[in-house]
Structure 1
Amino acid sequence: MTASSLPDAEHQLDTRGLYCPEPVMMLHNQIRDMSPGEVVHVLASDPATERDIPKFCNFLKQSLLASETTEQEFHYWIKKS
């Protein structure tokens, strides 16, 4: 995905430097505070987020719009249902 095709986000959640389960716990709190249709861009450094964030989205019925990995950094765009 190119930078111009990545979704716009109303919120950004920086979880870099944190490890499982903290990124998902912080994402859960962020989603709770958002309005339906809003998008959060999550930045993470924990490789476990490649497994945990898609499972979180599936389990809680949120939309994972895009994901991208760049040099040990993981980016996710999640839309609140």
Structure 2
Amino acid sequence: MNGNVTGNATFDTVTADIEVDASGLFCPEPVMLLHNRFRDMSTGDTLLMMATDPSTTRDVPKFCLFLGHELIAQDEQGGTYRYLLRKN
């Protein structure tokens, strides 16, 4: 879906330490929620976010790029976008 995904890890091979459901939230709320959750995470922790706002396909990779976190995997199924991130 996006060239910013790193490595070969998938949703099936990495277990998230934290899950965040941003379904029903619209830009900029999903990224604000991510930012708040990442503040409390330790380096190396993983987070799974589910969202329904299509703008997250742009915003989440940029969040990772600008703040130096890793976007492990992302996909979309039935209007739900999933992102697996690692705090660096």
TM-score (norm 1): 0.93
1:4 Cα offset (Å): 2.8
| Stretches of structure 1 lacking an aligned partner (at least 5 in a row) | none
1:30-69 superposed matches below 5 A: 30-69=37-76
Count of aligned positions: 80
Partner secondary structure for residue 12 of structure 2 = helix
Partner residue of 1:79 out of 56, 79, 86? 86
Moved over 4 A (4+): none
Q: 1: CA distance between counterparts of 2:15 and 2:84?
A: 8
Query: Once the two structures are aligned, what percentage of the paired residues are identical?
Result: 44
**RMSD of aligned residue pairs (Cα, Å):** 1.4
Partner secondary structure for residue 68 of structure 2 = coil
Partner secondary structure for residue 84 of structure 2 = strand
Partner secondary structure for residue 59 of structure 1 = helix
Per-residue Cα deviation, 1:18-76 (whole angstroms, up to 9, x for no partner): 00000000000000100000000000000000000000000000000000100100000
| Stretches of structure 2 lacking an aligned partner (at least 5 in a row) | 1-8
TM-score (norm 2): 0.86
